[in-house]
Amino acid sequence: MEIIANYGNVLIILAIVFGVFMAWGIGANDVANAMGTSVGSGAVTIKQAIIIAVIFEFAGAILAGGEVTATIRKGILDAALFTNEPHLLVYGMLASLLAAGTWLLIASSFGWPVSTTHSIVGAIVGFGAVGVGVDAVDWNQVVKIVLSWVASPVLAGIISFMLFRSLQNLIIDTNDPFDNAKKYVPYYMFLVGFIVSLVTILKGLKHVGLSFDLFTSYSLSVGCGLIVALFGTLVIRRIHLDPDENKDFHFASMERVFGVLMIITAAAMAFAHGSNDVANAIGPLAAIYSVIESGGSIGSKSALPVWILLVGGAGIVVGLITYGHKVIATIGTRITQLTPSRGFAATLAAAATVVIASGTGIPVSTTQVLVGAVLGVGLARGMAALDTRVINKIFLSWIVTLPAGALMSILFFFTLKGVFGA
């Protein structure tokens, strides 16, 4: 208690700095891969991707970011063990933010799309198990999260495989792909609007003081889906068949129709990412703020201040703008060749998986979900469409992430203990 009383302000400033650093890493790595399919497919430019991300990452973080934040700040460690030494929890969360942010900086410089969720969960488990004791970690919660890391990319891969198969049957492998695209794409647009708005209404809006019954929630979601479909239909009507552009690539005009859909799914993916991954930066920051604000009381309930969500959202956006181009290149062009139709299937599958996970409070890896979805689209076209060397590198970087986060977190934890006192 004495350490928190003496150094409370310094520790909060450090928490904000480390939280912004972690959020910057998320922007440089995770938002980049969330936007990679859109940029890689040619549906949007990097500038447009950044504008979409700025708007929808913020919206996702603020409207639907609270559920996962609760898991990151309260679910992984047994807070009761820190009752007599709350400063150890503060040190640990600071160490976790710094460790995860450092690993993301290293990975982003190599263009590896690693998992920010792995980074922060590994870091929290590392300092908890070594710095405090194995009993400090809620291993049941950790097992749940680890299982979700396996299940979520598989689920995203299955959804994207099925989505792309439906596109092949209804549009691509038909005698008139352009007209069929104009006919069926609005239904896919409805699906995007419906899924994202449903999860936001059911799980997100309660954080800003709004809640609806189930019938009203579904009705509003259907309404949002119809608005998105109507808007998309009006834009699609202005796209006309151009025989000249189809000479070299038979589906060029059809892909322009999917380009409109891809912009909508890019927005959905940015929203989904903001709702899930902002927690990786602000979960530990919220835990530190809660402990210091209450004078060292671990058990007291505290609301999540909106300024903390804003800090996370701002850091994410700056990371994308300043350093996101390397990971965008890996996801968008190196795993498999993407077009707007393929990118759509991957992005919608990933967005659907992430928003469902956010709604249940399980922090999944957006990176793994998206890579799983891109693999699903590649598999729908056959194994030859995949670059297995790039995939092997990505899988290896995933395996390294967990121990790297844990080891650095342990090192930073003991450093902070030495600086401020045990």
**Model confidence over 100-134: pLDDT tens digits?**
999 999 988 887 778 777 888 888 888 888 877 88
- pLDDT category of residue 75 using cuts at 50, 70 and 90: low
CB 225 within 8 A of CB 197: yes
Q: What is the mean pLDDT of residues 165-174?
A: 88
DSSP-H helix ranges across 237-365? 252-293, 306-323, 325-329, 340-360
Name the packing angle between helices 388-420 and 86-110 (round to 10°): 150
What pLDDT does residue 250 have? 62
- How far, CA to CA in Å, does 224 sit from each of 218, 228, 267, 302, 413? 10, 6, 14, 33, 46
Per-residue pLDDT tens digits for 231-276:
888 988 888 877 776 666 567 778 888 888 788 877 877 777 777 6
pLDDT tops 80 at residue 35: no
The H or E element spanning position 149 is helix 139-167
The H or E element spanning position 296 is none
Residues in the chain: 422
Q: What is the mean pLDDT of residues 286-309?
A: 72
Q: What is the mean pLDDT of residues 377-401?
A: 76
Q: Whole-angstrom Cα distance, residue 385 to residue 20?
A: 38
Which of the residue ranges 54-63, 121-130, 185-194 would you say has the lowest mean pLDDT?
A: 54-63
CB 141 within 8 A of CB 75: yes
CB 35 within 8 A of CB 330: no
Give 204 or 335, the one with higher predicted confidence. 335
What does the block give as tokens for 98? 């710094």
Burial status of residue 175 (CB atoms within 10 A of its CB: 0-12, 13-18, 19 or more): exposed
Q: Whole-angstrom Cα distance, residue 192 to residue 181?
A: 16
* Residue 191 burial (CB count, 10 A): 18
* Residue 213 burial (CB count, 10 A): 8
- pLDDT category of residue 64 using cuts at 50, 70 and 90: low
Q: Whole-angstrom Cα distance, residue 368 to residue 376?
A: 12
| Percent of residues, the chain, with pLDDT higher than 70 | 84
Q: Whole-angstrom Cα distance, residue 115 to residue 278?
A: 13
Q: Whole-angstrom Cα distance, residue 340 to residue 375?
A: 15
Q: What is the mean pLDDT of residues 347-359?
A: 76
Q: Considering only CA atoms, give the Rg of the chain.
A: 22
DSSP state of 42: T
CB 178 within 8 A of CB 257: yes
Task: Provide the residue type at 182 as one letter.
Answer: K
Q: Whole-angstrom Cα distance, residue 324 to residue 337?
A: 20
CA torsion sign for 197, 202, 207, 208 is: positive
What pLDDT does residue 245 have? 65
Burial status of residue 384 (CB atoms within 10 A of its CB: 0-12, 13-18, 19 or more): exposed
Q: Whole-angstrom Cα distance, residue 25 to residue 116?
A: 8
CA torsion sign for 29, 35, 40, 44 is: negative
Q: Which of 133-137, 216-220, 390-394 has the highest mean pLDDT?
A: 216-220
